[in-house]
Amino acid sequence: MNADQQTFLRDAMRRLNLTREAFSQRIGVTRRALDTWLLPEGSSEARGMPEIVQRFVSEILQAASATEETQSVQAGALRDRILFEGRPQLLSVDQFSRESVEALFRVADIMQPIARRQKVSRVLEGAVLGNLFFEASTRTRVSFGAAFCRLGGSVCDTTGFTFSSMAKGESIYDTSRVMSGYVDALVVRHPEQGSVAEFARATNIPVINGGDGAGEHPSQALLDLYTIQREFSRLGRIVDGAHVAFVGDLKYGRTVHSLVKLLSLYRGLKFTLIAPAGLELPAHLADRISRNGHVVVQTASLAEGLSGADVVYATRIQKERFEPKEQEQFEGYTPDFQVHQALIDAHCSPRTLVMHPLPRDSRPGANDLSTDLNHDPRLAIFRQTDNGIPVRMALFAVLLGVEDQVPRSMRDAGWRPPAAIGPDDAAFDALEA
């Protein structure tokens, strides 16, 4: 009856892709018994799990790992299963199957003790990352850099066109080839869709798309899906069959473009797409979701669309990508699309997750995800950003082929971070039903 027991059981359900009900049947215990083992410490109903059950669950997990290993040996190394035009690079979530996403998440799970600063590793000692960001970024640039450093590597950053020689007319091809002589991997963000693929084609080193215009943002979608899975495992749910409501600028929101494709790899989802007229999800993406057998509902009404959602994925209006005529049309874009506490309370359940790729516009009068949800345990935005580290570490480890070295490379960290990183983080335990 402690946090380790809860983590052990939740991770087991997630690894086996079983709901709480199905898991209790699989291990031959009553649902009620399982619930008491998952209750937070301090709850009067909480119970310790018998050792024999723990041993049985461990055996099931070992058998599952052995099967996964056999499958991955048959299918080849993960790196070889997600190549972009024959190279270890990440441009689009289209490079993933459901199996390869799950395999990446198992690597991310291995990274958790390092991401949580309990362990350190030097598997990338001597390697250098080049961060080339030609658009504004806080999370993607810094978390890719931090992920590389936490694996023992170091980082060179350039930001904006002004301070790069592209301002003197240098081509993407030359820039990419030159940088590849200096560094061992590149993360690139660029305002034009398709431009990061151009960087990738000019080099054989790993290149990761950190966002290409209104195209894709694959690492964000991977950390979003990883977050959904982890949060669902706390609630005894699985991704198959979930109802996900996307809100806001679905036309230009590249994180949405990548995430809907990744979620489409799962089964029987309901996608509710809530966008102002003119900012709807591109038709080819909506068609693709339907073709994969999911239900798609499009609406401009927040109240209607949020009802019954398991996940609300709010987004910022991407004004910087608007055509001149859209600038006029959305000048007065306002409150109808603000996701706030009263709305979530009125239309969502206490178990709905509220997500956002961030940044959210928190200036007075902005109509983005409201800060009045900051103390609500359903708000998962900082769990999302925290998950960016293990997921991005996993991407580097896989693309650079060192993931197998990580477990035996870990040593205890010599310092202790605070028990909770943010002042409100403890409140999130309330989620533990």
**Chain positions contacting ligand CP, by CB under 6 A:** 137-141, 211, 220, 357-359
Pick the closest to residue 391 from 252, 152, 229, 283 (CA basis): 229
Draw the binding track, 268-307, toward ligand ASP (x: CB under 6 A; -: no contact). Answer: ----------------------------------------
Number of residues that bind ligand ASP (CB under 6 A): 7
Least distance (Å) from ligand ASP to the CB of residue 250? 12
Q: Smallest distance, Å, CB 254 to ligand ASP? A: 5
Residue nearer to ligand CP on the CB measure, 118 or 138: 138
- Residue 20 touches which of ligand CP, ligand ASP, none (Cβ within 5-8 Å per kind): none
Q: Which of residues 322-361 bind ligand ASP (CB under 6 A)?
A: 357, 359
Which among ligand CP, ligand ASP, none contacts residue 254 (Cβ within 5 to 8 A by kind)?
Answer: ligand ASP
Among 20, 190, 254, 261, binds ligand ASP (CB under 6 A): 254
Please, which residue, 214 or 358, has the CB nearer to ligand CP?
A: 358
Provide the minimum distance between the beta carbon of 384 and ligand ASP in the complex, in angstroms, as a whole number.
11
Closest-CA residue to 255 (of 267, 244, 239):
244
138 binds, among ligand ASP, ligand CP, none (CB under 5 to 8 A by kind): ligand CP
Shortest reach from residue 398's CB to ligand CP, in Å? 20
Task: Tell the smallest beta-carbon distance from residue 248 to ligand ASP (Å).
Answer: 9
Residue of 6, 233, 255, 387 that binds ligand ASP (CB under 6 A):
255
Of 23 and 148, the one with the shorter C-beta distance to ligand CP is 148
Contact between 218 and ligand ASP per CB under 6 A: no
Q: Which is nearer to ligand ASP, 100 or 209 (CB)?
A: 209
Q: 234 or 356, CB closer to ligand ASP? A: 356
Rule CB under 6 A: say whether 190 interacts with ligand ASP.
Answer: no
3-state secondary structure the chain: CCHHHHHHHHHHHHHHCCCHHHHHHHCCCCHHHHHHHHCCCCCCCCCCCCHHHHHHHHHHHHHHHHHHHHHHHHHCCHHHHCCECCECCECCHHHCCHHHHHHHHHHHHHHHHHHCCCEECCCCCCCEEEEEECCCCCHHHHHHHHHHHHCCCEEEEEECCCCCHHHHCCCHHHHHHHHHCCCCEEEEEECCCCHHHHHHHCCCCCEEEEEECCCCCHHHHHHHHHHHHHHHHHHCCCCCCCEEEEECCCCCCHHHHHHHHHHCCCCCCEEEEECCCCCCCCHHHHHHHHHCCCEEEEECCHHHHHCCCCEEEECCCCHHHCCHHHHHHCCCCCHHHCCCHHHHHHHCCCCCEEECCCCCCCCCCCCCCCHHHCCCCCECHHHHHHHHHHHHHHHHHHHCCCHHHHHHHCEECCCCCCCCCCCCHHHHHHHCC
253 vs 276, which CB is nearer to ligand CP? 253
211 touches ligand ASP (CB under 6 A) = yes
When the beta carbons of 211 and 377 are compared against ligand ASP, the nearer one is 211
Residue placing its CB nearer to ligand CP in the complex, 385 or 409: 385
Contact positions toward ligand ASP, by CB under 6 A? 211, 217, 254-255, 316, 357, 359
